């Protein structure tokens, strides 16, 4: 029996051939933890009598979830991370450097074919460049810091083949929201998803990251995007599944007629065509997160907001995914365009995505957000409503004061399914 | 180990944000976590919970983030075991790693306040109130060893490495 991409990567890291369903011990290429998970991981590492980490050059800490610190309790957790990083000689990205997943890819800590574990569920983002990456908790992460290994069950795989071309005003975010709606929040539980097909080939790395990022919103262990068409500035081995590899499910979808998608409160898999939800008033628009806080996303918003002013009843918050993204947006005028339109820039990092600080909404307020989760209370107030959408929808809705279809901004005739 | 307690029953897809909201996760003080457990799902849960009680969920319990604070909050609040029709992957590992027992029963009929007894070794669960008996899905050996050690930290402290 041939192998899926997940089976190939996990076999290589097990030092033997493994297939779906088998338990195996894998050697890990790198680990990452954020300020939500690193302090507990440090504590667990100490409880394990850990002294040196297995390989300091392969451990990354990022202060991004509540950054800069909003109170003394969190400030002291950040301090624990910094002290541990210095003592063990590991890499730490401090306040304002960016979101952990963005930095892992941007700074080159992940390569195609790698096996990476991160103490954050959106670690699956690195599937964008063909790495098998998955989220673990703090104690599992401490175990890897100690041993360089972990145990794992080799997942079964689901193949999703995407054909056709996205219409203007429709992006990778709409595509992945649509798929989350189709498969459901547990539709790929414990499985690895492989995204392939001609619709993937023209996509940028930014867009591929958006797709891989939300694999966890279907419960997937990993979301591997085919590296077909991927350009990284260095050469790498393209992994292909064997022709006779076994897939638990094979799905096909033509993206050509897809319209912008919106996930409505309070679950990411409650997804609607924008035609069904447009007109819902919004009070806050958030552009950012590891799903859609990259340069491509800021460009998308700037194209819609150039020379215009957002609706007076809306506050628009932008948290660039990294300092590098912010710098590029400053240099090419994007940040100025968005600021002139009325948006406010926040520190690069998770920002309002996880409700720890910054941009907490009021009761009964509606938020249009480019992030990945709209669980009740996610942004810090259980009485608010979060709608998830693409950067174009976020920007155009900020302009209109209500959920609005960005295809109208682009003067293209909306095509419906 | 044998556990006995009253059931607190919730539905499908209980996500980690509802188990412990993100804004409370940044602490090493387990009592702070316990104070806000399930707050956005059921604000009265904490006051009704008696130490040793059993939390019962539907399918995909613990979906969402990788925060280990979710099982830690449940454990610190006094939940002795979580029973669900299925668990989200990361939550499942995290709970075992911190020594919170879980039992997966694909089909169960348990109502709030039912008296439940659980035998962890055999995975046998008895709903004493409804006189119904279930057997939970067997965990992989490595997880049983981790749970028996009291969690992954003590497992690795003793064994220094994983064995499957
Ligand atoms: S941006 Fe949001 S989803 Fe992404 S890592 Fe930060 S908190 Fe998590």
* Residue among A32, A122, A288 to mutate when testing ligand 1 (max atoms within 8 A of CB): A122
| CB-based contact A381:A362 (threshold 8 Å) | yes
Domain boundaries, chain A: 5-254, 274-407
Q: Answer positive or negative: Cα dihedral of A308, A311, A315, A317.
A: negative
Has residue A82 got a pLDDT over 60?
yes
Check: CB of residue A6 under 8 Å from CB of residue A240: no
Using a 6 Å cutoff on CB, does residue A371 contact ligand 1?
yes
Ligand 1 pocket residue status of A290, Cβ below 6 Å: yes
| Residue B118 belongs to some domain of the structure | yes
What is the mean pLDDT of the segment spanning A86-93?
Answer: 98
Q: Is the pLDDT of residue A345 over 80?
A: yes
Judge whether B164 lies within some domain.
no
Q: In terms of DSSP bridges, do strands A132-135 and A149-153 run parallel, antiparallel, or are they unpaired? A: unpaired
User: Which residues are bridge partners to B3 per DSSP?
Assistant: B118
Looking at the complex, report in whole angstroms how far the Cα of residue A186 sits from the nearest Cα belonging to chain B: 6
B109 domain-assigned: yes
What confidence tens digit (pLDDT) does each residue in A205-257 have? Answer: 999 999 999 999 999 999 999 999 999 999 999 999 999 999 999 999 999 99
A328: CA distance to ligand 1 center in Å? 21
Asked if A42 and A170 touch (Cβ cutoff 8 Å), the reply is no
Domain at B9, CATH number: 3.20.19.10
Q: What is A26-79 written as a DSSP string?
A: EE-SEEEEETTTHHHHHHHHHHTT--S-S-GGGEEEE--TT-S-SSHHHHHHHH
Helical spans, DSSP H, in A121-273: 138-147, 172-183, 205-213
> Within a domain: residue B25?
yes
Give me the pLDDT at residue A186, please.
94
pLDDT digits (tens, 9 = 90+) for B37-68: 999 999 999 999 999 999 999 999 999 999 99
Task: Judge whether A37 is closer than 8 Å to chain B, CB to CB.
Answer: yes
How far does residue A38's CA lie from ligand 1's centre (Å)?
15
Q: What is the DSSP letter of A277?
A: H
Angle at A406 between CA A400 and CA A411, to 5 degrees: 105
Q: Which CATH architecture best describes the domain A274-407?
A: 2-Layer Sandwich (3.30)
The CATH code of the domain at A5-254 is 3.30.499.10
C-alpha A248/C-alpha B53 separation (Å) is 38
* SS3 assignment, position B22: helix
What does pTM read for this prediction?
0.95
Q: State what percent of residues in chain B have pLDDT above 90.
A: 96
Q: Does residue B86 lie within any of the structural domains?
A: yes
pLDDT at A413: 53
A116-134 tens-digit pLDDT:
999 999 999 999 999 999 9
pLDDT at residue A411 in the model: 62
Question: B17 CA to middle of ligand 1, Å?
Answer: 13
CB A257 within 8 Å of CB A414: no
- Summarised one tens digit per residue, pLDDT across range A182-193 is 999 999 999 999
Spatial separation of the C-alpha atoms in residues A366 and A346, rounded to whole Å = 20
Tokens standing for B80? Answer: 């002795």
Q: Which of A64, A67, A99 to mutate to test the pocket of ligand 1 (most atoms within 8 A of CB)?
A: A99
Cis ω for the linkage preceding A68 (within 30 of 0) = yes
Q: Is B151 on the interface with A (CB under 8 A)?
A: yes
What's the whole-number average pLDDT of chain A? 97
pLDDT digits (tens, 9 = 90+) for B111-147: 999 999 999 989 999 999 999 999 999 889 999 999 9
**Interface contact B157-A49, CB threshold 8 A:** yes
Size of interface A-B (CB pairs under 8 A): 148
A100 to A61, A106, A117, B21, B91: CA distances (angstroms): 8, 10, 12, 20, 21
Residue A416 has pLDDT above 80, yes or no: no
- Please judge whether A140 and B97 are an interchain contact, meaning their C-beta atoms are less than 8 angstroms apart: yes
- Separation of alpha carbons A331 and A292, rounded Å: 20
Strand order in the sheet with A59-62: A91-93, A59-62, A30-34, A115-119, A132-135
Per-residue pLDDT reduced to its tens digit, B77-115? 999 999 999 999 999 999 999 999 999 999 999 999 999
How many helices and strands, by DSSP H and E, does chain B display? Answer: 7, 7
Q: And the tokens for A410? A: 């682009």
Pairing of strands A222-225, A192-196: parallel
**Which class for A41: exposed (0-12), middle (13-18), buried (19 or more C-beta within 10 A)?**
buried
Q: Which domain holds residue B142?
A: 2-159
ipTM score of complex? 0.93
Asked if residue A177 has its Cβ within 6 Å of ligand 1, the reply is: no
Query: Structurally, how many domains does chain B consist of?
Result: 1
Predicted pLDDT at A417: 44
């Amino acid at each position: 029996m041939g192998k899926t991409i997940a089976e190939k990567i996990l076999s290589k890291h097990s030092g033997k051939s493994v297939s779906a369903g088998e338990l195996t011990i894998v050697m890990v290429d790198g680990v990452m933890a954020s300020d939500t998970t690193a302090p507990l991981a440090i504590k667990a590492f100490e409880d394990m009598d850990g002294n040196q980490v297995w390989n300091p050059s392969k451990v990354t800490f990022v202060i991004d979830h509540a950054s800069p610190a909003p109170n003394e309790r969190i400030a002291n957790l950040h301090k624990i991370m910094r002290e541990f990083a210095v003592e063990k000689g590991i890499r730490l990205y401090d306040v304002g450097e960016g979101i952990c997943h963005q930095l892992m890819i941007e700074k080159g800590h992940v390569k195609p074919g790698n096996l990476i574990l991160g103490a954050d569920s959106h670690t699956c983002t690195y599937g964008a460049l063909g790495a098998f990456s998955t989220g673990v908790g703090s104690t599992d992460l401490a175990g890897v810091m100690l041993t360089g290994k972990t145990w794992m069950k080799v997942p079964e795989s689901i193949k999703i083949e995407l054909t056709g071309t996205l219409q203007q005003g429709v992006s990778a975010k709409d595509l992945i929201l649509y798929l989350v709606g189709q498969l459901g929040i547990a539709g790929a539980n414990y499985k690895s998803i492989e995204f392939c097909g001609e619709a993937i080939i023209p996509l940028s790395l930014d867009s591929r990251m958006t797709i891989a990022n939300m694999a966890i919103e279907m419960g997937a262990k990993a979301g591997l995007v085919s590296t077909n068409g991927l350009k990284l500035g260095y050469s790498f081995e393209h992994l292909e599944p064997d022709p006779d590899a076994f897939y638990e499910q094979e799905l096909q979808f033509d993206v050509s007629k897809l319209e912008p998608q919106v996930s409505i409160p309070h679950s990411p898999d409650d997804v609607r065509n924008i035609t069904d939800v447009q007109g819902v008033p919004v009070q806050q628009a958030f552009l950012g997160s590891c799903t859609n806080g990259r340069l491509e996303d800021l460009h998308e918003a700037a194209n819609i907001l150039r020379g215009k002013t957002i609706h007076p009843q809306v506050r628009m918050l932008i948290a660039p995914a990294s300092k590098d993204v912010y710098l590029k947006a400053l240099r090419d005028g994007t940040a100025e365009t968005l600021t002139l339109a009325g948006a406010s820039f926040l520190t690069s990092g998770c920002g309002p995505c996880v409700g720890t600080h910054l941009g907490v909404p009021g009761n009964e307020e509606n938020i249009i957000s480019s992030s990945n989760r709209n669980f009740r209370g996610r942004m810090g107030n259980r009485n608010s409503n979060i709608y998830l959408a693409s950067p174009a929808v976020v920007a155009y809705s900020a302009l209109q004061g209500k959920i609005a279809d960005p295809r109208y901004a682009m003067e293209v005739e909306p095509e419906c399914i | 180990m044998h556990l006995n307690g009253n059931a607190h029953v919730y539905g499908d897809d209980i996500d980690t944000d509802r188990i412990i909201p993100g804004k409370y996760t940044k602490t090493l003080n387990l009592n702070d976590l316990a104070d806000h457990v399930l707050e956005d799902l059921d604000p009265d849960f904490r006051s009704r919970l008696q130490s040793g009680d059993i939390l019962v969920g539907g399918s995909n319990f613990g979906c969402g983030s990788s925060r280990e604070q979710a099982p830690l909050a449940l454990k610190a609040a006094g939940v002795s075991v979580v029973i669900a029709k299925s668990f989200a992957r990361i939550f499942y590992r995290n709970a075992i790693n911190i020594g919170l027992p879980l039992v997966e029963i694909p089909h169960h009929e348990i109502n709030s306040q039912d008296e439940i007894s659980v035998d962890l070794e055999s995975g046998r669960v008895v709903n004493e109130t409804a006189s119904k008996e279930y057997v939970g899905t067997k965990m992989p050996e490595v997880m049983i060893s981790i749970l028996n050690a009291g969690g992954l930290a003590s497992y690795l402290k003793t064994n220094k490495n994983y064995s499957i």
